Amino acid sequence: MAIEYGEYLRIQRLRAGYSLRAFAKRIEMKPSNLSFIESGKANPPRTEKTLFRIAAALNLKRNSAEWDKYFNLSSKKTEIPVDIAKNDNIRQCLPIMLRTIASARLTKRELEELIVTIKKSGRKKQS
């Protein structure tokens, strides 16, 4: 079974050494609201400000696997994660990229290989 946002948030909060109340105070949220989110009874926060505040409190590093997972889980399945939606280049090219991938009818394995290739390409440019 796939992990949901609330469960992932709880794991990361505990890993960072916060109690529920201490973390709620740190991210400026009512403990009851945080509890509802972690238990899956409430949706993840929707505002960029809140999502980034939580990521910062958890010491998630940009472009890390934890960062990506956190923001991917925070978005609805039909939404672009908030940290990616800010990038105009990606937002403008995303529809055609998705249509191209869909029309290629790639298998899950081929999609995973494409992701690896893109990640490798991005690392080369950063060097």
What pLDDT, on a 0 to 100 scale, did the predictor assign at position 114?
A: 92
Confidence band for 1, pLDDT divided at 50, 70 and 90: low
**Residue 44, by phi and psi: left (phi above 0), alpha (psi -120 to 50) or beta?**
beta
Q: Where in the chain is the domain with CATH 1.10.260.40?
A: 5-85
Cα–Cα distance, 47 to 109 (Å, whole number)? 33
Confidence band for 99, pLDDT divided at 50, 70 and 90: confident
The residue type of 47 is T
User: To which residue do tokens 């109340």 refer?
Assistant: 21
Cα–Cα distance, 86 to 106 (Å, whole number)? 27
pLDDT greater at residue 73 or residue 1: 73
pLDDT digits 0-9 by tens, 45-97: 988 899 999 999 999 998 888 998 998 899 877 678 888 888 888 888 888 88
The residue type of 3 is I
The hierarchical CATH code for the domain 5-85 is: 1.10.260.40
User: 3-class secondary structure for 47-60?
Assistant: CHHHHHHHHHHCCC
pLDDT at 127 over 60: no
pLDDT digits 0-9 by tens, 4-36: 999 999 999 999 999 999 999 999 999 999 999
